């Protein structure tokens, strides 16, 4: 859970900065920001291997075969005798072409292991975004329309509870309620969509929901706040006076103007959701990226660790760019509406 994004303070200041920047420069400017960030974060990721005082060649060869000559030879083969920056450059150019090296222990290409496991996390993450937007969007709109009523207070209360509960706790509650007690859904395991969409959905709905509830709570709270402030604007009153139907006002004039902050939340919650996906993998025993990373960390399988972190951080960075782009687009079309 990118901890940075967890704390509200950064969220309070950064989105406005980013929105301004994105509105000015759009996706092209976004790319100019994206590439240095990608290079920096991938360098930090790669340096991890160098930081470790583990000796990969000795690890691969095993205790008996690890004579100094053999270690030196394998170091040369692996390129570990080169300076760090050169090693990093080699690794990065390979990574861009989809080669992330091979596992020290299983000799399986890292990109192959990741390709096997990424669909699990993508399934639950996309499921979670859809569920989060649906639940959070509905709750936020209902709370804003009925503001001050008991419905509003109830939604606010539930939202505060869910945004406090970490995904792994929510996941366990869902397992206990829906799988162990009610036997409605499977408690663990994963089957791909190729072996039946129904069973795939059955296996991803609980993990997705576990991730979605926090996102939904954040979206609902943000949407309610911005909807209420938009609903009190003069142009909304004006639209009502002109006799426009309430639904039209709500969708065209209010939601459009109020959805920016909620969208930002989506961008900021995405890293948290990836961490939540690891939690969901553990709670629901899903064979995903998190499990791959945990296993690799225990055995100090550095290429796997580097590969997983690289892929995940690239996802986070690209997601941020997409959200910024969407915000820029929203801002521009909003200007069109209000002009």
Please give the residue ranges that form the binding site for other proteins (CB under 8 A).
1-10, 12-14, 16-17, 20-21, 33, 36-37, 40-41, 44-45, 48-49, 51-52, 54, 164-166, 168-169, 172-173, 175-176, 180-181, 187, 271, 274-275, 278-279, 282-283, 290, 293-294, 296-298, 300-302, 305-306, 308-309, 312-313, 316-317, 320
Reading the block at residue 159, the tokens are: 């939202």
**Interatomic CA distance for residues 163 and 137, integer angstroms:** 15
- C-beta of 204: minimal distance to other proteins in Å? 19
Q: Per the structure block, which two tokens stand in for 295?
A: 């296993």
Quote the least distance from Cβ 246 to other proteins, whole Å. 26
In the block, residue with structure tokens 């205790």: 63
Nearer to other proteins, 134 or 177 (CB): 177
Q: From the CB of 248, what's the least distance to other proteins, in Å? A: 26
Q: Which burial class, exposed, middle or buried, applies to 243 when counting CB atoms under 10 A from its CB (0-12, 13-18, 19+)? A: exposed
Residue whose CB is less far from other proteins, 180 or 184: 180
Task: Return d(Cα 209, Cα 305) in angstroms, integer.
Answer: 28
| Least distance from other proteins to the Cβ atom of residue 308, Å | 7
Q: Which of 61, 64, 84, 63 is nearest to 73 (CA)?
A: 61
Distances from the Cα of 139 to the Cα of 147, 166, 255, 260, angstroms: 11, 20, 13, 17
The whole-angstrom separation of Cα 65 and Cα 58 is: 8
* Residue located via tokens 């639209």: 239
Q: Is 49 or 140 the residue whose CB approaches other proteins more closely?
A: 49
Residue 116 or 225 having the CB closest to other proteins: 225
Closer of 13 and 77 to other proteins (Cβ): 13
Min dist. Cβ of residue 203 to other proteins (A):
17
Q: Which is nearer to other proteins, 138 or 233 (CB)?
A: 233
What's the min distance (Å) between Cβ of 282 and other proteins?
6
**Minimum distance between the CB of residue 85 and other proteins, rounded to whole angstroms?**
17
Q: Which two tokens stand for residue 1?
A: 């859970």
Per DSSP, the three-state class of 102 is: strand
Reading the block at residue 275, the tokens are 């961490």
Contact 240, 249 (CB under 8 A): yes
Nearer to other proteins, 204 or 273 (CB): 273
DSSP letter for each residue of 252-265 = IIIIHHHHHHHHHH
* Largest Cα–Cα separation, the chain: 87
Per-residue exposure over 325-335, b if at least 16 CB sit within 10 Å of its own CB, e if not: bbbbebbeeee
Shortest Cβ 53–other proteins spacing (Å): 8
């Amino acid at each position: 859970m990118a901890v940075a994004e967890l704390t509200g303070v950064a969220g309070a200041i950064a989105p406005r900065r980013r929105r301004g920047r994105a509105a000015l420069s759009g996706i092209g400017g976004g790319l100019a920001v994206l590439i240095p960030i990608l290079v920096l974060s991938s360098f930090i990721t790669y340096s991890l291997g160098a930081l470790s005082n583990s000796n990969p060649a000795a690890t691969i060869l095993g205790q008996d075969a690890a004579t100094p000559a053999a270690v030196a030879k394998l170091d040369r083969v692996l390129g570990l005798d080169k300076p760090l920056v050169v090693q990093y450059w080699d690794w990065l150019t390979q990574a861009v072409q989809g080669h992330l090296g091979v596992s020290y222990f299983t000799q399986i290409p890292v990109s192959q292991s990741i390709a096997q496991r990424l669909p699990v996390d993508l399934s639950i993450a996309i499921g979670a975004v859809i569920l989060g937007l649906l639940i959070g969007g509905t709750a936020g709109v209902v709370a804003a329309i009925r503001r001050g009523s008991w419905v509003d207070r109830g939604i606010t209360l539930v939202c505060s509870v869910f945004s406090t509960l970490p995904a792994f706790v929510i996941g366990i509650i869902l397992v206990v309620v829906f799988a162990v007690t009610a036997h409605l859904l499977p408690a663990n395991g994963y089957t791909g969509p190729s072996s039946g969409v129904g069973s795939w959905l059955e296996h991803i709905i609980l993990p997705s929901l576990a991730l979605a509830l926090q996102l939904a709570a954040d979206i609902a709270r943000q949407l309610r706040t911005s909807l209420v402030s938009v609903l009190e604007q003069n142009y909304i009153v004006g639209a009502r006076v002109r006799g426009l139907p309430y639904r039209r006002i709500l969708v065209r004039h209010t939601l459009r103007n109020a959805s920016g902050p909620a969208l930002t939340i989506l961008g900021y919650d995405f890293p948290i959701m990836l961490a939540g996906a690891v939690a969901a993998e553990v709670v629901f025993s899903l064979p995903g990226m998190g499990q791959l990373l945990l296993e690799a960390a225990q055995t100090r399988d550095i290429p796997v660790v580097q590969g997983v972190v690289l892929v995940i951080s690239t996802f986070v960075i690209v997601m941020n760019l997409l959200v910024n782009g969407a915000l820029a687009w929203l801002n521009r079309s909003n200007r069109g509406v209000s002009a």
